[in-house]
Amino acid sequence: MIAAGKGHTAVRAQKRARLSDGEVWQKLELFPTPPWATRALALHVLPALDAPALDVCALWEPCAGLGHMSETLREYSPSVVASDLFLYPNAPDNIERRDFLDDDLAAPAVDWVVTNPPFTAAAAMWRRAVGFARVGVAFFCRLQWLEGEERYQEIHLACRPTVVAPFVERVALCEGGWDPHCSTATAYAWFVYVRPQWLPPAWRDGETRLRLIPPGRKQRLSFRSDARLAALHVPGFVPPSALRRAGRQAALL
């Protein structure tokens, strides 16, 4: 055995190697969405609506980042516009550079805007998204999106979400990449806003419906092919699960 202090030094060195402060992806809050969480939207949330099936809809993912959500959406729709304010070097070539909040943005004609927005810019992006989408908007956000007097006055009071779909099991996100083995204490949900003409008649009362995404979706909706998305990350990314393993190993030394 070696002194515990050396083990802790090794763990601290790994943490320092994770990412550097002030990088573009940190300023833009790049927290890629696990593919199974996007599939849960398509398979467990949207089917309750009268809206057209995704395979005949045009979708726009305006915070595509490294493509984790947009590439998964392509499993359900042949027409997906993927864009981001910043183009990451190892992102798929089909991601365009567009500033979603640019007043002069030439917006494509789309049925849905589906994205995991930076939390600090989510309100501003929501305002643009509801103007662009012909059918609806789906935001993957912390459950905290329901909270806050300012958000209530500016968003929820004027346009209540049609469906709030929290995940019963936790969806683990991490900065700079996707770690399939990561864990989290943060609660996430899909917030879906649908134009009234695409709602079931009983849903046209303006009330918000709660639709829990049941447990077990991570296992059922994770595929071996997702490994290609797990390989997409920013330089310096160290999966949190690898850090935990290194910490446990160091503790045993």
Q: What is the CATH number of the domain that holds 230?
A: 3.40.50.150
Q: How many domains does the chain have?
A: 1
Position 15 in a domain: no
CA 233 to chain centre: 15
Query: Tell me, what's the pLDDT at 9?
Result: 39
Q: Buried b / exposed e across 11-43, counting CB within 10 Å, b at 16+? A: beebeeebbeeeeebeebbbbbbbbbbbbbbbe
Distance CA 161, CA 129 (A): 13
What are the phi and psi torsion angles at 172 (to 5°)? -90, 120
Mean pLDDT by 10 residues, the chain (253 residues): 36 44 81 98 95 96 98 98 94 96 93 96 96 97 94 91 97 95 95 96 93 97 97 91 65 45
Distance CA 109, CA 14 (A): 45
Query: Tell me, what's the pLDDT at 160?
Result: 92
Distance CA 181, CA 191 (A): 25
Distance CA 34, CA 230 (A): 9
* Cα-based torsion angle of the residue sequence 167, 68, 163, 182 in order, rounded to the nearest 10 degrees: 20
The residue with tokens 């609660």 is 187
Residues 6+ apart with CB under 8 A from 148: none
List, for residues 128-177, the tens digit of each pLDDT value: 999 999 999 999 999 999 999 999 999 998 899 999 999 999 999 999 99
Position 242 in a domain: no
**C-alpha closest to that of 160 among 135, 126, 121, 187:** 126
Amino acid 169 reads: E
Position 23 in a domain: no
Query: Tell me, what's the pLDDT at 24?
Result: 80
Position 251 in a domain: no
> How far, in Å, are 53, 107, 115, 201, 209 from residue 80 at the CA level?
14, 13, 12, 29, 27
- Which residue range is the domain that position 217 belongs to? 31-237
Distance CA 81, CA 64 (A): 9
pTM above 0.85, yes or no: yes
Query: Tell me, what's the pLDDT at 2?
Result: 30
